[in-house]
Amino acid sequence: MKIKSKIGLIGAGWWATANHLPVLVDRDDIELASVCRLGAGELQQVKDKFGFTHATEDYKELLDTAGLKGVVIASPHTLHYEHALAALKRGLHVLCEKPLTTKASEARELVEEAERQGVELMIPYGWHYGELIQEAKRRMDEGAVGKIEFVMCHMASPVRSLLEGKQFLSTGGGAGENMFAPAADTWADPVIAGGGYALAQMSHSAGLAYWLTGLKAESVSALTSAPTSKVELYDTFSVRFSGGAIGSFSGAGALPDNQQFQLDVRIFGSEGVMNIDVDRARLEVLRHDGNNFDMELKPDAGEYFGGGPTANFADIVSGKGSTNWAPGWAGMRAVEMIDAAYRSVETGRTASV
């Protein structure tokens, strides 16, 4: 009889049931050992549909599950820190939804705890698993643009209604059908969400940019705008990185519901520039020595691969793989920048990381 590795899930809402669980339930090396969410009726629905052995509304009870190897955390943003830290302290591998946390100090503590425990901390950054981004990462690690001098990163999403607390039309990107609608207050309530578009979506694009470059934000000057919502819809950050490079990060949570994500990253260096465009499926390197590169890609090569991180996590938990393609430190660097940006907006001055 094949031994299965036990995984628990904290926060079985919209995205977890549409993306993480459809991937995990199809694995013959994973046992869905325990699930936790509030609401007895909804909890039972999830337990029955995905065949969990155990279900509870108390995450601490879930963490007591005998033989547990890993935990997926998809609870509201402001609860990520508490849930992830408790799981890491048990020596469990953790896949924590973005944003990793809402505060820089908390993100750093999670990364440090994972290192101390010798376990993996992952963020579900789906774009990291496409051939376009994997090739970009390989070339950046080889020094494709030389010493990095400037970074431009832009993202836009069709999530305006969600950030306004209205009915949300999912744009897909998951591995299965929606079981629940998104809980609007977890995105639109400033207290529960911890912030607006920057935390909810730019944590994706920023995590990608920091993973590709390895940069660390040193200071941030930011502006945000919330014309029709309690949390911000628009963000623009000017960033200085350790080592002298500078950059700009922008975000807009106002694409029409019938549109897909925009994500554009441009990395300028002493030897050239890398241009990455996921919505138009482009990867090119333009070098001063003329040794340019233009990747031949299918039109859909930049689509979001929601199941990638979950499959990667299952491989790590089951021992089938060891490479973490969406490491916690990249999510930490994103949160460090966003935390400083929010403080900059509050004071009207540049904020240090």
Model pLDDT for residues 162-221, shown as the tens digit of each residue = 999 986 555 455 555 778 777 778 889 999 999 999 999 999 999 999 999 999 999 999
Q: What is the pLDDT of residues 117-172, one digit of tens each?
A: 999 999 999 999 999 999 999 999 999 999 999 999 999 999 999 999 986 555 45
Clarify whether residues 230 and 296 are in a common domain. Answer: yes
Number of domains in the chain: 2
Phi, psi values for residue 158, rounded to 5°: -85, 65
Domain extent for 137 = 130-302+333-352
Clarify whether residues 110 and 145 are in a common domain. Answer: no
Clarify whether residues 142 and 216 are in a common domain. Answer: yes
List the strands of the sheet with 93-96, edge to edge.
54-56, 30-36, 5-10, 68-73, 93-96, 121-122
- The CATH number assigned to the domain holding 107 equals 3.40.50.720
Question: Which pLDDT band, with edges at 50, 70 and 90, does 252 fall under?
Answer: very high
Going by C-alpha positions, the residue among 114, 95, 117 that lies closest to residue 20 is: 95
Phi-psi region of 30 (alpha: psi -120 to 50; beta: other; left: phi over 0): beta
Round the average pLDDT of the chain to a whole number and report it.
95
Query: Residue 169: its pLDDT value, please?
Result: 52
pTM of the model: 0.95
Q: What is the pLDDT of residues 282-296, one digit of tens each?
A: 999 999 999 999 999
Question: Which pLDDT band, with edges at 50, 70 and 90, does 73 fall under?
Answer: very high
- The CATH number assigned to the domain holding 255 equals 3.30.360.10
DSSP 77: G
Rounded CA separation 184/166 (Å): 7
Q: Which two tokens stand for residue 39?
A: 């609401």
Clarify whether residues 112 and 156 are in a common domain. Answer: no
Clarify whether residues 154 and 298 are in a common domain. Answer: yes
Q: CA torsion angle for 77, 78, 82, 88 (degrees, to 10)?
A: 30
